[in-house]
Amino acid sequence: MSYPAVARAAMEGLDGSLIRTVFAEGAGLEDVIPLWFGEPDVVTPGFIREAAKQGLDAGRTFYNSNFGIDELRAAIAQYQSGLGRSVRFDGVCVTASGVNAIMLACQALLDPGDRVVLPEPFWPNLAGISRVLGAEVATVPLRLRGAAWSPAWSVDLDELLAALTPGTRMVMLNAPANPTGWMLSRAEQEVLLAHGRRLGIWILADDVYERVVFDQPAAPAFLDIAHADDRLVSINSFSKSWAMTGWRLGWINAPSTLMPALGKISEFNTSCTPPFVQLAGIAALQQGEPFIAATMARYRAMRDLACARLGSIPGVSVPVPGGAMYSFFAVEGCTDSLALARSLLHGAHVGLAPGRAFGPAGEGCLRLCFAVAEDRLQAACDRIADHLAHTGGR
Amino acid sequence: MSYPAVARAAMEGLDGSLIRTVFAEGAGLEDVIPLWFGEPDVVTPGFIREAAKQGLDAGRTFYNSNFGIDELRAAIAQYQSGLGRSVRFDGVCVTASGVNAIMLACQALLDPGDRVVLPEPFWPNLAGISRVLGAEVATVPLRLRGAAWSPAWSVDLDELLAALTPGTRMVMLNAPANPTGWMLSRAEQEVLLAHGRRLGIWILADDVYERVVFDQPAAPAFLDIAHADDRLVSINSFSKSWAMTGWRLGWINAPSTLMPALGKISEFNTSCTPPFVQLAGIAALQQGEPFIAATMARYRAMRDLACARLGSIPGVSVPVPGGAMYSFFAVEGCTDSLALARSLLHGAHVGLAPGRAFGPAGEGCLRLCFAVAEDRLQAACDRIADHLAHTGGR
């Protein structure tokens, strides 16, 4: 008898990333404009990198608390207070990225078989993390609605509430959303919070794009309105707001009663994050507002450019996102977004993410990350327009 | 009806670290000699820190592959080849620490209810990770055997094999072991590998102390003798060999057939590790041998000192470890190692880890990390001897 060295069967049912499928195909191609990943195209600001270098020079290379160094936890609480949120120092758990924060929270909260509800299209890792831990994922579709000249992604709140049945363990709400830029209004948050309280459903608020918004300093957050003992975990990250994708630094805001479990879970996952990386995080929080303002001015211009250019292509429906850094647009007649993304890659040398990567409700769409320099974005839009004119989006 | 914001019930059954319990009690005390954690007492060598700083200057701050940057994967394969192991570049997965490597491997391999076997005393996270994922942990006790003047921790191989019943999913073998310094001989590894092959049992070899050995360049490893398609995952870390505990960098060697699952799991956990941290890892691997040699000369002297000093205390039984950086010694008459560790902390201002932190088989023992400067170690041994002379170890 022979035993092949393969993973548990449950792994087979977990999708690999379709974005990475397209990315892998582009490996050998020259002159590709890569807009497939959600990553700012600039190096982390110098003052943040300098803070890490100073930490290295100072010998900050040792283990530290499962919850992060006190200086960073305090800086996070102070930063969030500056956004008008009442955040407790001892309710902050530093994590090794936003995705790691979600993994830790889910390990603390989800039992196998638990029901998790997720608006769709969704960031694939939200479903992946739930499934790898054995939870059952139910989705509620967002819909592209509104007049042809101003479509918008929106959720039917009654439909979402109906999906949050008694016994549901968690709803994951990523708003501003990747990939759609969909946002939750304060009124919708109030209703969802009340519903969660009534039924004991945890809200996992993935707030990593809260500062990547175009018409306000920060997106409305559940943290603004929740009580300290509500079943709410807020996920955050340094990646998007401060161009720190590669640093793998994030945090969780959680009720104090959840912290002992998060401490154990942190210990079992990465135990802590590098002290010199955490010092860089402090610099970002305390000196980063001018960078965020400049970045958002740039993103706003790129968003407007992308929406105008893509919107002028016949058969393309382009909602204008209120947050995040993506245009998630529908192509008339497209029934296989993976094939279309491949066709655009090979035929037009533009790297986009296929909508289906974000769940079946994303089929027929493509995601373009507009966090790039203007000339690159213009060139990409030229290529997409040319390609769709010739192929008709199939 | 009200819903308290607490973790899933399974979290309650997971022990917090008893080492951290003692550590927390010492927070307010002055003049404590802290030997409770497994951490070298020196800052990471300058050439390693410089490599990270150069990466920061070069703008290496972006996302990278789920498996790590190619340069580091290649450097790991080359380093391991230098130890006489045939390691494939594409069987290396870079991770955010050794503990993270274990978590990733277990997420890929363990279903809820799976049986995991573990020699005891064990590093608590091995059991914790298994349990948090719903696996059932069975233990096989190591025993302190041999003449009174040269006791040694050893496993009864037949007893271990008998515990590896048909249907067992995994055996976790940390050798050189934390806390005992116990090692596996090549002959024992051959028997265990053959047994695992026969029954399809995965071997998770926690090799993080493989270079922290006193009588050879590296401990014998399953990787030396396994086939490429064996059910073997080897866990490694930069923490101990290169004094990089705070950096959170490690790796997995796995069969190529397991890599797609590890890629998905990596994506869901931290997605990647910082490129500039990985560049530091390359410097460690390529230029770190003199540091390892000097460190091991120092540790050998400290081990010999600790064993001689502790062994001269009446009623204390001190095995001489072949690897790792701990003295795990038995105190005659001690039936509550947590109480004894507390008593030593408050009465003698020495911070040790209670043996029970490593499972019931560690009761009656204490763990002392000897990776410290000689004057500190001498002072700690003075204090321990005085305290035990006055209290009799209770």
Check B3 against A200: CB less than 8 A apart: yes
| Cα distance between residue A110 and residue A107, in whole Å | 6
Q: Are strands B170-174 and B152-154 parallel, antiparallel or unpaired?
A: unpaired
Identity of the residue in A132, A267, A272 whose CB atom sits nearest the CB atom of B248: A272
Check B61 against A243: CB less than 8 A apart: yes
Q: Which residues fall within 8 angstroms of residue B213, CB to CB, at 6 or more apart?
A: B176, B183, B219, B296, B322, B323
Residue A394: band (very low, low, confident or very high) from pLDDT cuts 50, 70, 90: low
Does the structure show a pLDDT above 80 at A88? yes
Gyration radius of chain B's alpha carbons:
21
B6 contacts in chain A (CB < 8 Å): 257-258, 261
Indicate whether A295 and A343 sit together in one domain: yes
> What string of H, E and C letters represents the secondary structure of chain A?
CCCCCCCCHHHHCCCCCHHHHHHHHCCCCCCCEECCCCCCCCCCCHHHHHHHHHHHHCCCCCCCCCCCCHHHHHHHHHHHHHCCCCCCHHHEEEECCHHHHHHHHHHHHCCCCCEEEEEECCCHHHHHHHHHCCCEEEEEECEEECCCCCCEEECCHHHHHHHCCCCCCEEEEECCCCCCCCCCCHHHHHHHHHHHHHHCCEEEEECCCCCCECCCCCCCCHHHHCCCCCCEEEEEECCCCCCCHHHCCEEEECCHHHHHHHHHHHHHHCCCCCHHHHHHHHHHHHHCHHHHHHHHHHHHHHHHHHHHHHHCCCCEECCCCCECCEEEEEECCCCCHHHHHHHHHHHHCEECEEHHHHCHHHCCEEEEECCCCHHHHHHHHHHHHHHHHHHCCC
Angle at CA of residue A387, ends A381 and A388, nearest 5°: 90
Q: Has residue A378 been placed in a domain?
A: yes
- Reduce the DSSP state of residue B29 to 3 states and report it: coil
Domain harbouring A278, CATH code: 3.40.640.10
Closest alpha carbon to A246 in A13, A40, A392: A40
- Domain end (from B229, B262, B287): B287
| Cα distance between residue B264 and residue B278, in whole Å | 20
Residue B388 CA, distance from chain mean position: 28
Indicate whether B112 and B140 sit together in one domain: yes
Q: Which residues, listed in sequence order, are joined to residue A95 by a DSSP beta bridge?
A: A250
CA distances, B229 to each of A32, B189, B221, B245, B254 (Å): 37, 17, 16, 31, 9
B39 contacts in chain A (CB < 8 Å): 62-63
The string of DSSP letters for B116-185 reads EEEEES--HHHHHHHHHTTPEEEEEE-EEES-TTS-EEE--HHHHHHHS-TT--EEEEESSPTTT-----
Q: Which residues fall within 8 angstroms of residue B212, CB to CB, at 6 or more apart?
A: B176, B240, B241, B296, B299, B323, B324, B325
How high is the pLDDT of residue B102?
Answer: 98
Indicate whether A50 and A36 sit together in one domain: no
Check B257 against A111: CB less than 8 A apart: no
Which chain A residue has its CA at the smallest distance from B237's CA? A270
How high is the pLDDT of residue B195?
Answer: 98
**In angstroms, what separates the C-alpha of A169 from chain B's closest C-alpha?**
10
Q: Has residue B237 been placed in a domain?
A: yes
Indicate whether B240 and B317 sit together in one domain: no
How many A-B residue pairs are in contact by the CB < 8 A criterion?
Answer: 209
- Domain end (from B237, B253, B287): B287
For chain B (394 residues), the mean pLDDT of every run of 10, in chain order, is 88 85 88 92 96 98 95 98 92 98 98 98 97 97 86 95 98 97 97 98 98 94 95 98 97 97 96 98 98 96 97 94 96 95 96 96 96 96 95 72
Q: Has residue A24 been placed in a domain?
A: yes
Indicate whether A62 and A143 sit together in one domain: yes
Contact B338, B344 (CB under 8 A): no
Closest alpha carbon to A287 in A79, A94, A80, A86: A79
- Please give the model's pTM, rounded to 2 decimal places: 0.97
Contact B373, B41 (CB under 8 A): yes
Q: Has residue A2 been placed in a domain?
A: no
Which chain A residue has its CA at the smallest distance from B53's CA? A53
Residue B157: CB atoms within 10 Å: 16
Q: How many domains does chain B have?
A: 2
Residue A310: band (very low, low, confident or very high) from pLDDT cuts 50, 70, 90: very high
Indicate whether B217 and B251 sit together in one domain: yes
Does the structure show a pLDDT above 90 at A359? yes
Identity of the residue in B99, B197, B243 whose CB atom sits nearest the CB atom of A268: B99
CA distances, B363 to each of A268, B28, B359, B384 (Å): 23, 26, 7, 18
Residue A54: CB atoms within 10 Å: 15
Indicate whether B298 and B216 sit together in one domain: no
Indicate whether B297 and B267 sit together in one domain: no
- Provide the domain limits for residue B341: 9-44+290-389
Six-digit token string for A203: 């809200």
Check A247 against B61: CB less than 8 A apart: yes
Q: Are strands B92-95 and B350-351 parallel, antiparallel or unpaired?
A: unpaired
| Cα distance between residue A253 and residue A232, in whole Å | 8
- Reduce the DSSP state of residue B234 to 3 states and report it: strand
How high is the pLDDT of residue A330?
Answer: 95
Indicate whether A19 and A93 sit together in one domain: no
Closest alpha carbon to B202 in B169, B225, B175: B169
Identity of the residue in B5, B39, B248 whose CB atom sits nearest the CB atom of A273: B248
Six-digit token string for A199: 């039924």
Domain harbouring A317, CATH code: 3.90.1150.10
| Cα distance between residue A232 and residue B213, in whole Å | 47
Indicate whether B197 and B297 sit together in one domain: no
**With left for phi above 0 and alpha for psi between -120 and 50, is residue A200 left, alpha or beta?**
left
Q: Has residue A73 been placed in a domain?
A: yes
Gyration radius of chain A's alpha carbons:
21
How high is the pLDDT of residue A390?
Answer: 87
Check B100 against A270: CB less than 8 A apart: yes
Residue A215 CA, distance from chain mean position: 19
Predicted-complex ipTM score: 0.96
- Domain end (from B254, B287, B320): B287
How high is the pLDDT of residue B1?
Answer: 62
CA distances, B320 to each of A323, B167, B206, B211 (Å): 61, 36, 21, 17
Higher pLDDT, B2 or A129: A129
Check A267 against B128: CB less than 8 A apart: yes
Largest CA distance in chain B: 64
Q: Has residue A94 been placed in a domain?
A: yes
Q: What is the mean pLDDT of residues A115-134?
A: 97
How high is the pLDDT of residue A189?
Answer: 98
Q: Has residue B281 been placed in a domain?
A: yes
Q: Which residues, listed in sequence order, are joined to residue A237 by a DSSP beta bridge?
A: A250
Q: Which residues fall within 8 angstroms of residue B97, CB to CB, at 6 or more apart?
A: A270, A271, B237, B239, B248, B249, B250
A109 contacts in chain B (CB < 8 Å): 7-8
Six-digit token string for A253: 């805001």
Q: What is the mean pLDDT of residues A17-34?
A: 89
Which chain B residue has its CA at the smallest distance from A231's CA? B5
Percent of chain A with pLDDT over 90: 90
Q: Has residue A150 been placed in a domain?
A: yes
B108 contacts in chain A (CB < 8 Å): 7-8, 11
Contact B319, B214 (CB under 8 A): no
Largest CA distance in chain A: 64
| Cα distance between residue A251 and residue A224, in whole Å | 17
A232 contacts in chain B (CB < 8 Å): 5
Identity of the residue in A43, A56, A265 whose CB atom sits nearest the CB atom of B61: A43
Indicate whether A303 and A275 sit together in one domain: no
Indicate whether B295 and B268 sit together in one domain: no
Residue B337 sits at φ, ψ, to 5 deg, of -70, -25
Residue B178 sits at φ, ψ, to 5 deg, of -100, 120
